[in-house]
Amino acid sequence: MSLEQRNLTWTVILLFLADALCNTWRVEYQQQHICAVKGSSVVMPCSFYHPDNVRVKNIVWGHVKSKPLKGCWISSSNWRKGTTRFRYIGDKHHNCSLKIHQVKSNDSGNYIIRFNDKISRQPGNGLSLKVVDLKVFVTKPHRNGTIKEGDSVNLTCMNSCDSGNFSSAFTWFKDREPIHKGPMLNLSNISFTNSGNYTCSLTRHKRTTSGVININVEYGPKNTSVSVRQVDTGISITLICSSHANPSVENYTWFKVVADDVVDVGHQPVFLCGESGHYLCSVANKHGSQNSSVVTLKIQSCWAASTRDILFIAIVAAVAMLLIVITVIAIRRDSKRRTWAPNTDCEEESQNTDYINWLICDSDQSQEDNQCEAGATELVYASVCFHNKRQSNIREQQMDSCNDEVIYSTVCRNQLLNPSHPESP
């Protein structure tokens, strides 16, 4: 066979194969295995080919969870409807790519594509999707996991989809605030201000958040102080000891400075003090201890305060008793006066009565004959009663009544014993 015949034969074979391929269904997946971080968005690219005489009406992606094919199917004809996380981003010619937003763990699995036509063809074996979490590794200086002030701690963010080559861009967060970019975060000479919750995420996908790593920096007592609260004015005072420590303060001790000595007087955070002097508190936890500054108190003694209170109460009681006695005496005297007042008035009226006796003579009798006989004289008494002052001056009236005198004035009226007999000359 000549060379020309061979070339012609291969040309016919290729044309035949090309025609055969163009008239069959075929799907190509650029990646058979896709890895995505939870919370990110992933694109599953693919291309398809179909016979020239066939028109593609619908392309369906399926998430296969078991055999026979059961699962979620995403159709190209209705992907614009709703707010689904699955979006068909291909066309009906050759591109059959699918995009998943905010990937979840249950999105892992196998995906296949199906061309939904009269023949209902289902070519290809599909692809697999793996969903992973970002992980944070912590390097601590102590085996027991305790982190103390001055230590150094290293945090490393890992994306298992990178196969350990750190090709992803990371951002670190402390209490949800961004603080650093890069796969590693180094906390050297750590202090209590570094305590908090740390996470990392992919820089391009903020929803790809790792698990929370809590950094708890322990330290000894700091900023120990004593606050004073007065309970009774000048008698007793409450002292309160406060301090910042992690873990919390375990032991409290109150001291009183006496001359050159220090006396232990209490072991509670709150101390009730009733004596003057110089006081301070000492606090401690497993990482150290600290003393407060000295507080000077001036308090009255309890004995002096009690004596003052007793004296005050005695004076008030004495004054009250005196007022009660005076009130009772006044009430009794007033009641007696009211009881005897009417009889006294009557006696006073009788004692203070002045009697004036007038001797009435006939008008016919001359002045020269104004002396009448005793037997023929009739005495007529006319009484006039003089009232002195009111009852308010009873005592004064009684004394005056003793000196009152009865004054009699006689008025002589000459009557004839026998009117038929004339007077003798």
Task: Give the model confidence (pLDDT) of 249-280 as tens digits.
Answer: 999 999 999 888 889 999 999 998 888 889 99
Cα gap 211→200, rounded to integer Å: 8
Q: 135-215 and 223-297: same fold?
A: yes
Cα separation values, 50 from 45, 177, 309, Å: 17, 52, 110
Average pLDDT over residues 179-199: 94
Options 3.30.420.40, 2.60.40.10, 3.40.50.1820, 3.40.50.1370; CATH of 24-126: 2.60.40.10
The pLDDT value recorded for residue 72 is 61
Give me the residue spans of the domains in the chain: 24-126, 135-215, 223-297, 302-344, 352-425
Q: Does residue 391 register a pLDDT over 70?
A: no
pLDDT in tens, 356-382: 444 444 444 444 444 434 343 444 444
What's the CATH architecture for 135-215? Sandwich (2.60)
**Buried b vs exposed e over 6-30: b needs ≥16 C-beta within 10 Å?**
eeeeeeeeeeeeeeeeeeebebebe
Task: Read off the pLDDT band of 390 (50, 70, 90).
Answer: very low
Burial label for 358, CB within 10 Å (0-12, 13-18, 19+), is middle
Cα gap 15→5, rounded to integer Å:
15
Q: Are 100 and 130 in contact (CB under 8 A)?
A: no
pLDDT-derived band at 290 (thresholds 50, 70, 90) equals: very high
- In 33-169 the beta strands, taken as DSSP E runs, fall at 33-37, 42-44, 46-49, 59-66, 70-75, 86-88, 98-100, 109-115, 127-132, 135-139, 147-148, 153-158
Contact assessment for residue 109 and residue 64, using Cβ atoms and an 8 Å cutoff: yes
Using the predicted structure, report yes or no on whether residue 133 has a pLDDT greater than 70. yes
Q: Which of 45-49, 65-69, 250-254 has the lowest mean pLDDT?
A: 65-69
pLDDT, average across residues 272-296: 92
The torsion defined by the Cα of 365, 369, 374 and 379, in degrees rounded to 10, comes to 50
Give percent of the chain with pLDDT exceeding 90. 36
Which of 80-89, 130-139, 188-197, 257-266 has the lowest average pLDDT? Answer: 80-89
| pLDDT of res. 336 | 78
Q: pLDDT band at 310, cuts 50/70/90?
A: confident
Q: Please, which pLDDT band fits residue 55 given cuts at 50, 70 and 90?
A: confident
For 138, the token pair is: 């912590």
pLDDT at 400: 46
Residue 342 has pLDDT above 70, yes or no: no
Residue 137 CA to residue 131 CA, distance in Å, equals 19
Whether 344 contacts 394, CB under 8 Å:
yes
Instruction: Out of 71-75, 83-87, 108-112, pick the least confident.
Output: 71-75
pLDDT score, position 86: 86
Q: Given this model, what pLDDT does residue 2 score? A: 57
CA distance 408 to 377: 16
* Topology classification of domain 223-297: Immunoglobulin-like (2.60.40)
Torsion over CA: 134, 135, 136, 137 (sign): negative
Looking at the chain, the whole-number percentage of residues with pLDDT higher than 70 is 64
**Distances in Å between the alpha carbon of 347 and those of 176, 209, 339, 383?**
110, 118, 15, 16
The pLDDT mean for the chain works out to 75
Model confidence at 282: pLDDT above 60:
yes
The band of 351, judged by pLDDT with boundaries at 50, 70 and 90, is very low
